[in-house]
């Protein structure tokens, strides 16, 4: 028997569904959901499809309100939501970026194999856990003063490299070269500064992690070779964001934006979608502060990558460069960016919100580093710590169908509280060890919240994106060791 959503959604093709504008009076564009039949049934169990419809009310929105296959209920926008508004007459919504501004992923390759790492895996994971601060409220090794923090806000990963945390080549393979322009520290209040000053270079908690992996399947050998990836190779995936700094920036601007809507005559069906015109003083100020938080996040991942290299060097007794620990790519998945996209046959400046969604630019795109210009942008799709993650590549079809966007991960099926209730009495660490996965965390709860039971199978998510042409599969990585907050 079809569910409510199966009766409402219109099938476009095997992996694409349309939520018609007629679903809610006031929708300016339809919703487009990328999902398999089985996923549609699961997605309909929370409020994320209603959120897709609500996002379609935003002034200036173009083409559609998009939902990626990892979609689930979020703040205002669903996680896995994408929407672009015209810069000239559209809006920007902090809820369309979220609290963890520039949460993203960074992939490092190594020249090591699983056979070389396995005998020292316990020692390696212990070293990483000791060297990289993790957990709620974790304080970092770096103590940055007021002037230095302003530099972090504007220079991002470039600040980290200039201060000895990495190499200039790392910036070449980081989105925006590690620092987005237009960041203005004057737009950031005192509270984000207080929260962020001690958290630079920390992994945090929740779904953030550092994972030592092995490439166990290669789908596209030509693209994998261009990215320096081969079967049996050990890689490292780092997933974290802007910590308390970005969270407080979002909180501060939600308090600014919501009352401002009345002045601009904006009405939305959910107060969590509070928004202001992109070109308004409040809109420009939010974007300037958001960019500061994005740059903080790039500096954060850069420092963590540097200490990861140091841990490997110490455990394996070799310089990190001899271990082949170079960057594949770093890409964010919680951000609003001004980009040019084709809208009704014209190239238009839009403010594109990607919340739990990753940029997926095709071969030849001018924003890609020269080394990837021929094959397209690397896209990292982390799964859960008990299964696997994927490396994919951007496509021209994504530019046409989804504003150059694709999924960002597996997507939750259970809340953190539900996962803990379901796993009560289970020793998650011991169960993962039986799979050959060494995991270290600050406590049982953080492992239970992030166990496989709480997530969709990321392979299903990636299959939909691959089949829909949003990102093509390149390789699969299986976890060997994980550190979490």
Q: What's the gap between Cα 385 and its chain centre?
A: 16
Residue 235's φ and ψ, nearest 5 degrees, are -130, 170
Identify the bridge partners of residue 379 per DSSP, sorted by sequence position. 392
- For residue 412, count CB atoms less than 10 angstroms from its CB and return exposed for 0-12, middle for 13-18, buried for 19 or more: buried
Q: Determine whether 408 is an active site residue.
A: yes
| Catalytic-role residue among 208, 353, 408, 466 | 408
Cα(312)–Cα(116) distance, integer angstroms: 12
Q: Which of 345, 354, 442 is nearest to 400 (CA)?
A: 345
Structure-block tokens of residue 482:
């994980």
What burial letters (b/e) apply to 453-472, b meaning 16+ CB within 10 Å? bbbbbbebbbbbbbbbbbbb
Cα distance from N-terminal residue to C-terminal residue, the chain: 43
Contact 300, 201 (CB under 8 A): yes
User: Would you please indicate which residues are annotated as catalytic (active-site) residues?
Assistant: 408
């Amino acid at each position: 028997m079809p569910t409510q959503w199966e009766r409402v959604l219109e099938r476009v093709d095997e992996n694409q569904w349309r939520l018609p504008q007629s679903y809610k009076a006031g929708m300016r564009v339809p919703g487009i959901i990328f999902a398999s039949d089985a996923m549609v049934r699961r997605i309909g169990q929370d409020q994320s499809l209603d959120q897709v419809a609500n996002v379609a009310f935003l002034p200036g929105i173009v083409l559609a309100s998009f939902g990626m296959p990892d979609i689930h209920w979020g703040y205002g926008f669903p996680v896995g939501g994408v929407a672009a508004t015209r810069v000239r007459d559209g809006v920007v919504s902090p809820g369309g970026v979220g609290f963890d501004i520039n949460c993203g992923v960074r992939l490092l390759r190594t020249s090591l194999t699983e056979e070389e790492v396995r005998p020292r895996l316990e020692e390696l994971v212990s070293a990483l856990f000791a060297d990289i601060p993790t957990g709620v409220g974790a304080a970092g090794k770096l103590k940055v003063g007021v002037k230095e923090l302003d530099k972090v806000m504007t220079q991002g990963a470039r600040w980290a490299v200039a201060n000895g945390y990495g190499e200039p080549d790392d910036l070449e393979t980081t989105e925006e070269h590690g620092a987005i322009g237009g960041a203005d520290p004057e737009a950031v209040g005192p509270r984000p500064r207080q929260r962020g000053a001690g958290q630079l270079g920390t992994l945090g908690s929740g779904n953030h992690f550092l994972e030592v992996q092995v490439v166990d399947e290669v789908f596209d050998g030509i693209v994998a070779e261009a990215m320096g990836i081969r079967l049996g190779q050990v890689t490292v995936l780092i997933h974290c964001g802007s910590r308390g700094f970005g969270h407080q920036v979002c909180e501060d601007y939600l308090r600014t934006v919501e009352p401002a809507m009345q002045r601009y005559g904006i009405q939305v069906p959910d107060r969590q979608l509070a928004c202001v015109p992109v070109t308004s003083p409040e809109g420009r100020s939010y974007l300037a502060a958001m960019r500061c938080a994005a740059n903080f996040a790039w500096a954060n991942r850069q420092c963590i990558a540097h200490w990861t290299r140091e841990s490997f060097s110490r455990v394996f007794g070799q310089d990190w460069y001899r271990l082949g620990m170079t960057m594949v790519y770093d890409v964010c998945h919680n951000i609003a960016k001004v980009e040019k996209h084709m809208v009704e046959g014209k190239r238009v400046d839009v403010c594109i919100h990607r919340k739990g969604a990753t940029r997926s630019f095709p071969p030849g795109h001018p924003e890609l580093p020269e080394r990837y210009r021929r094959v397209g942008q690397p896209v990292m799709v982390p799964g859960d710590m008990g299964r696997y993650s994927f490396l994919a590549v951007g496509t021209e079809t994504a530019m046409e169908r989804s504003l150059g966007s694709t999924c960002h991960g597996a997507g939750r099926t259970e809340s953190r509280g539900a996962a803990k209730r379901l796993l009560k009495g289970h020793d998650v660490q011991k169960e993962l060890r039986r799979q050959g996965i060494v995991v270290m965390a600050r406590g049982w709860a953080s492992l239970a919240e992030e166990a496989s039971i709480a997530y969709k199978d990321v392979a299903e998510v990636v299959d939909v994106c691959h089949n829909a042409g949003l990102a093509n599969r390149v390789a699969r990585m299986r976890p060997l060791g994980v550190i979490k907050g």
